[in-house]
């Protein structure tokens, strides 16, 4: 069994070196993570929240193995798209950004994503960005090109392109700014001059003119502010590798900072092989999704695939996740009735195979295979009325699921997160029906007993008879094929 002491067995795939590496923190026992968060131009779809869920598993595993984790997840609350969409909607840009930031926060909370240690907004860190930009200009790595425009000189930094293994001449030109304003078409914007028609409140004064930050500058400034000159892990979606993360690394290291030691990138959520995005019209809003299915089921679907793999979202994705969740939750409920509460999961031993799977670049599918092995053993113990064995498997299953943010009886998904009045009322009504059914069975009135059972089934209540009487649960939802 695996304990909770900090270990050095974790291995992670580093995008920069394109190999699985032993994870060795800058400071033993402490881990600093910078995760690129939301650009709050619109409410989140399921593709947006995959990164948050994937890195939530990493944070939970690091903490479970004894590490003190500082997670910084930024919010980009001013950029071209925010200004454009807010203007279309006739809403102040800052109000538009806050409205969508709250939608992201609600989605994170609904899916059981732990809050970050710090969640800085770009607009709250303009002085730090200006200081970093001035440092790059002073050292010859950046230059002003007209009033308010400042660019990073990619030719001044020989390592530019190292993160994504590209030569500068093979890259597409940077999209920001006019080619005539730049020394090289590949130079990227650190600061953008205010444009006619843009809100005056979306610009700040700098020694180089009035304007607003480029996307890349903000993350470098905030990472240094909260995690120091060098930190452990920088994460984000695979689509951010270039140009965003390449540019972050270049400007931070050109400024003399060690920046990130490891780069981790999660795969996309895809539909028909295409990345889920607003531009393709294939986004599925989290708020809409949660009107149709329980949040824990969505969490399971996003967690069950290894973080670097693409997750193809099909009509079967949620049906399969729901069936699996019901099996897990059903076992935990039955086992708890028999064996009692599992106790303190934070110190409960974890199966060695589970720990080995997560240490292998967060191989969640392999970790879940271990969960299901213990689930089967627990169901076997329940069938045999072996209470000590039931308790052993209950503790193991819940402890493993807790690490993944999926403990059915935990604070997030357990009864404490529902309205107890509704649950108590439903239980009383169903119990009354079951008592009437038991009386009918005792009188050998099989027609009445069957009618009660059918009535409960039609209401979505499944009845299971056992040696101690009848117990009930909510029936699994039908699959898409059943509904058709």
CA 317/CA 257 separation, integer angstroms: 43
Are the beta carbons of 404 and 303 closer than 8 angstroms?
yes
Burial track 1-24 (b if 16+ CB lie within 10 A, e otherwise): ebeeebeeebebbbbbeeeeeebe
pLDDT at 274: 78
How far is the CA of 83 from the CAs of 78, 212, 482, in angstroms?
7, 12, 45
CA 430/CA 464 separation, integer angstroms: 13
Q: What is the dihedral of CA 98, 104, 110, 111, to 10 degrees?
A: -160
pLDDT at 475: 73
Using DSSP, state whether 265 is helix, strand or coil: strand
Tokens of 280: 């393709």
Architecture of the structural domain at 308-417: Up-down Bundle (1.20)
Residues 6+ apart with CB under 8 A from 138: none
Residues 6+ apart with CB under 8 A from 109: none
pLDDT at 420: 46
pLDDT tens readout for residues 89-137: 999 999 999 999 999 999 999 999 999 999 999 999 999 999 999 999 9
How many CB atoms lie under 10 A from the CB of residue 254? 23
Q: Average pLDDT for residues 165-186, to the nearest whole number? A: 85
pLDDT tens readout for residues 197-243: 999 999 999 999 999 999 999 999 999 999 999 999 999 999 999 99
CA 445/CA 436 separation, integer angstroms: 11
Are the beta carbons of 51 and 113 closer than 8 angstroms?
no
pLDDT at 240: 97
Strands 30-35 and 230-237, by their bridges, are: parallel
Written in H, E and C, the secondary structure of 282-311 is CCCEHHHHCCCCCHHHHHHHHHCCCCCCCE
CA 277/CA 350 separation, integer angstroms: 38
CA 289/CA 45 separation, integer angstroms: 9
CA 483/CA 13 separation, integer angstroms: 42
> For the CA atoms of the chain, what is the radius of gyration?
27
Phi, psi (degrees; rounded to nearest 5) at 277: -160, 160
pLDDT at 88: 96
Domains 11-266 and 308-417 belong to one CATH topology: no
DSSP per-residue letters across 40-96:
-SS--BHHHHHHHHHHHHHHHHHHHTT-EEEEEE-BB--SHHHHHHHHHHT--HHHH
Confidence category of residue 378, pLDDT binned at 50, 70, 90? very high
Residues 6+ apart with CB under 8 A from 484: none
pLDDT tens readout for residues 423-457: 667 878 888 888 889 888 989 999 998 898 989 89
Written in H, E and C, the secondary structure of 380-415 is HHHHCCCHHHHHHHHHHHHHHHHHCCCCCCCCCCCH
Architecture of the structural domain at 11-266: 3-Layer(aba) Sandwich (3.40)
When mean pLDDT is compared over 47-61, 262-276, 426-440, 457-471, the highest value belongs to 47-61
pLDDT tens readout for residues 21-56: 999 999 999 999 999 999 999 999 999 999 999 999
pLDDT tens readout for residues 337-362: 999 999 999 999 999 999 999 999 99
Q: Long-range contacts made by residues 446-449, C-beta under 8 angstroms, separation at least 24?
A: none
Q: Which residue has the tokens 């028909």?
A: 272
Residues 6+ apart with CB under 8 A from 120: 72, 74, 75, 222, 225, 226
How many CB atoms lie under 10 A from the CB of residue 435? 13
pLDDT at 421: 47
| Nearest Cα residue to 99 out of 91, 88, 109, 111 | 91
In the predicted model, what is the mean pLDDT of the chain?
Answer: 91
**Peptide bond connecting 243 to the previous residue in cis, omega within 30 degrees of 0:** yes
| Domain residue ranges in the chain | 11-266, 308-417, 420-483
Phi, psi (degrees; rounded to nearest 5) at 132: -65, -40
CA 270/CA 282 separation, integer angstroms: 9
């Amino acid at each position: 069994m695996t304990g909770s002491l900090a270990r050095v067995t974790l291995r992670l795939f580093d995008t920069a070196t394109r190999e699985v590496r032993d994870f060795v923190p800058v400071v033993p026992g402490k881990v600093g993570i910078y995760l690129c968060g939301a650009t709050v131009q619109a409410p989140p779809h399921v593709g947006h929240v995959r990164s948050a869920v994937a890195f939530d598993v990493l944070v939970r595993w690091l903490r479970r193995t004894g590490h003190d984790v500082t997670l910084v997840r930024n919010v980009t609350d001013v950029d071209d798209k925010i200004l454009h969409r807010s203007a279309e909607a006739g809403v102040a840009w800052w109000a538009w950004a806050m409205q969508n930031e709250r939608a992201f926060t609600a989605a994170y909370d609904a899916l059981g994503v732990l809050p970050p240690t710090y969640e800085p907004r770009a607009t709250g860190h303009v002085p730090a960005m200006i200081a970093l930009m001035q440092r790059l200009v002073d050292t010859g790595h950046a230059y002003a090109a007209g009033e308010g425009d400042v660019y990073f000189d990619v030719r001044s930094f020989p390592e530019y392109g190292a993160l994504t293994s590209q030569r500068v001449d093979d890259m597409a030109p940077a999209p920001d700014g006019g080619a005539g304003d730049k020394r090289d078409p590949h130079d990227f914007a650190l600061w953008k001059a205010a444009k006619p028609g843009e809100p005056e409140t979306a610009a700040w004064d700098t020694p180089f003119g009035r304007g607003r930050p480029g996307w890349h500058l903000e993350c470098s400034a905030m990472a240094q502010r909260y995690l120091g000159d060098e930190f452990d892990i920088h994460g984000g979606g695979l689509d951010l590798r270039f140009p965003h993360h390449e540019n972050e690394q270049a400007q931070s290291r050109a400024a003399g900072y060690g920046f990130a030691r490891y780069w981790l990138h999660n795969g996309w959520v895809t539909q028909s092989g295409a990345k889920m995005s607003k531009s393709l019209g294939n986004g599925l809003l989290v708020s809409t999704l949660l009107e149709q299915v329980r949040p824990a089921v969505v969490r399971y679907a996003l967690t069950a695939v290894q973080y670097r793999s693409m997750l193809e979202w099909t009509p079967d994705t949620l049906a399969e996740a729901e069936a699996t969740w019901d099996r897990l939750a059903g076992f935990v409920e039955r086992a708890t009735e028999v064996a009692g509460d599992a106790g303190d999961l934070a110190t409960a031993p974890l199966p060695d195979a589970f720990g080995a799977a997560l240490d292998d670049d967060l191989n969640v599918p392999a970790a879940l295979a271990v969960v299901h092995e213990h689930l089967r053993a627990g169901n076997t113990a329940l069938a045999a009325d072996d209470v000590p064995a039931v308790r052993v498997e209950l503790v193991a299953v819940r402890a493993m699921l807790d690490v993944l943010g999926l403990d059915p009886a935990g604070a997030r998904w357990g009864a404490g997160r529902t309205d107890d009045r509704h649950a108590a009322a439903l239980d009383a009504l169903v119990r009354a029906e079951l008592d009437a059914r038991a009386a009918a069975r005792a009188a050998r009135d099989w027609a009445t007993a069957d009618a009660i059972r059918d009535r409960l089934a039609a209401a979505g209540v499944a009845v299971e008879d056992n040696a101690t009487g009848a117990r009930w649960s909510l029936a699994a939802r039908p699959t898409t094929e059943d509904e058709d």
